[in-house]
Chains A and B, each alone.
Chain A
Amino acid sequence: MKFILKPLLMIVAMALGMTAAATLPARALVELNVNKGNVEPLPIAITDFQGGDALGAEISGIVSADLKRSGLFAPIDKSAFIEKISNPDATPRFEDWKVINAQALVTGSVSKEADGRVRAQYRLWDTFAGQQMSGEQFFANDANTRRVAHIIADAIYERLTGEKGYFDTRVVFIDESGAKNARKKRLAIMDQDGANIRYLSDGRSIVLTPRFSPNRQEITYMSYESGQPKVYLLQIETGQRELVGDFPGMTFAPRFSPDGQKVIMSLLRDDGNSNIFAMDLRSRSTTRLTNSTAIDTSPSYSPDGSKVVFTSDRGGRAQIYVMGADGSGQTRISFGDGVYSTPVWSPRGDLIAFTKQTAGEFQIGVMRVDGSGERILSTGFQQEGPTWAPNGRVLMFFRDSAGGPKLVSVDLTGRNEQSIPTANFASDPAWSPLLE
């Protein structure tokens, strides 16, 4: 079986010279603070990119949708615009934008080069300071115009918030179709906004829990294709698959180490309990990390690779534990009223996201790595399985309602919840690192 993805694009970024007299010091217009009360989204005007016929409007539409979904920006309706931008490189009439309360303005252009590549450039303006904040141009092959738009959105997000963006990313997930008692489950991959879906398995076997390698080219997941449920690796570009390890029983709940050299997972013991093992993908050697007569599962490395957070019911009901990457110092960190599972370490290292069951509901929340400061971001009848955006500011998870699961994202304030459009039911999302 071979799954060919579009060839990776060559993105060439170049800074555009400032047209304003002075270069601004880096100043964020949006402050990211999860503990702050209501964060007013920043009003921003995103004009249609000039040239390229429909392409210009398409790119500005994607940029606008990305920024809006972050919850940090409020793109202004184009019908309110006063100045019609004819030259995106010329200094705009700031008064025209201040009067409609656009704090920031994006202008840009797109064109096709003689060699078939697409050239897109943008400029970001601080209307109240009356200056350009940033400007860049990108070259990409024709098939990747959506990626160019996401990269521009990331650049704007980063310039205005002071933090890396997360729009030029993908999500692997399980596409689900058919009746609940006969669900067809397929491995699928798409852009973070739901576009460009591609299927990576045919649905003949149950597949679950895909997770990205830090190299973005590989995923690990669980499949029933051999009869026994086992953990596999899949090369996204070539479709090449391989079994991870040679264990007698079921292997499940896999994740990569931050350096991509190991897969950590659960192995079923003969007595019916499950313990955590790590396998080095080069040497094929395996290391046992837990040895309890309990369910130990859902392991996730800290971003520096020194620790592992996991679920265990060794204390009676499922709770969250942290240990060293060698299995040392296993310590319970969750003590709230309920059952905790699916812990995932933030890529920033500061938080652990989890699923909590309490009072007949399922919650998605975060806690600090010592278990303190628990905050619930979303509550529902049936929802689980958070995954982090690479900047550690947004979580995606799946929620079962109206007959099947769908993907939902929520930011760390818990106030900005967004559904991710998918054609079928969808579960087990896993966010990629930023593409390169």
Chain B
Amino acid sequence: MGRIAALTRNPVMIALVASLAIAGCASKKTPNSAADLGLSGAGAATPGSAQDFTVNIGDRIFFDTDSSSIRADAQTTLSRQAQWLNQYRQYAIVIEGHADERGTREYNLALGARRAAATRDFLVARGVSAQRLKTISYGKERPVAVCDDISCWSQNRRAVTTISGAGS
């Protein structure tokens, strides 16, 4: 009882214990994890895993208002995605197109679809097989950021590359 009380009053101690537990677990299961290879802690994911794709490659790109042009920063991300997807061919890919709330519902369904298609076309041009790629538009129905200003809208104008069906 006294020991638990002391621990709960000491968050540093708890955090330390927790991180040791995770590190121990991770190193047992995945000896070749990014952490073991000396990569940054944030990228502590199995190469070729969905987490690796999301964290180390970047699963999403962003668009300018009412635009489906692939920006320069997005081209960098998509090039990395294409390289990774060409390396790990076991995944099926769905590209979700999204819009911010500053448009009408029906128009934004169309705009999200156009963004997903532009993203798909870029990946195909970089050698990803079109057979692996599907697209879906969520319009403005699935925002990730929920405030009512530009900081949120810019995060919601996005295309997200989701992967599934990993083999072994």
Contacts and interface: CB of A to CB of B under 8 A. Distances in A.
Interface of A: 179-181, 183, 185, 206, 208-209, 222, 227-229, 249-250, 252-253, 266, 268, 270-274, 295, 297-298, 311, 313, 317-318, 339, 341-342, 355, 357, 381-382, 384-385, 400, 427-428
A252 B109 contact: yes
Contacts of A183: 141
B142 A400 contact: no
Given A272-B118, A273-B114, A317-B66, A342 B106 contact: yes
A341 B104 contact: yes
A342 B110 contact: no
B107 A318 contact: yes
Contacts of B109: 208, 222, 229, 250, 252-253, 297
Contacts of B161: none
B110 A209 contact: no
Interface stretch (B12-20, B30-38, B78-86, B143-151): B143-151
B106 A252 contact: yes
Contacts of A229: 109, 136-137
B116 interface: yes
Contact of A295 (B101, B107, B146): B107
B111 interface: yes
27 contacts: A180-B143, A181-B143, A181-B146, A185-B141, A209-B105, A229-B109, A250-B109, A250-B136, A250-B137, A252-B106, A272-B114, A272-B117, A272-B118, A273-B110, A274-B114, A295-B111, A297-B106, A297-B107, A298-B107, A339-B66, A341-B103, A342-B104, A342-B107, A357-B103, A382-B101, A382-B102, A384-B104
Contacts of A222: 109
Contacts of B137: 229, 250, 268
Contacts of A339: 66, 103
B106 A209 contact: yes
Contacts of B148: 381-382
A266 B110 contact: yes
A229 B152 CA distance: 25
Main SS at interface, chain B: mixed
A141 B116 CA distance: 53
Contacts of A313: 107
Interface string B115-137: 11110010000000000000011
Given A266-B106, A384-B105, A385-B105, 6 more contacts: A183-B141, A208-B109, A208-B139, A208-B141, A273-B110, A311-B107
B93 interface: no
A208 B136 CA distance: 15
Nearest to B143: A181
Contacts of B105: 208-209, 384-385, 427-428
Interface residues of B, number: 30
A427 B139 CA distance: 15
A355 B110 contact: no
B113 interface: yes
Contact of B110 (A268, A382, A384): A268
Contacts, number: 93
A317 B106 CA distance: 15
A250 B137 CA distance: 8
B142 A295 contact: no
Given A229-B137, A382-B101, A181 B144 contact: yes
Contact of B113 (A209, A268, A385): A268
B104 A295 contact: no
A219 B141 CA distance: 21
A337 to B, nearest CB: 16
Contacts of B102: 357, 382
A180 B104 contact: no
A369 to B, nearest CB: 20
Contacts of A355: 104
A341 B118 CA distance: 23
B166 to A, nearest CB: 19
Nearest to A182: B142
Contacts of B118: 272
Contact of B141 (A206, A227, A228, A295): A206
Given A181-B143, A229-B136, A229-B137, A253 B106 contact: yes
The 4 residue pairs across chains A and B that have the minimum distance between CB atoms: A272-B117, A272-B114, A180-B146, A295-B110
Nearest to A311: B107
A385 B108 CA distance: 13
Nearest to A222: B109
A297 B138 CA distance: 16
Contact of A252 (B101, B110, B116): B110
A372 B84 CA distance: 54
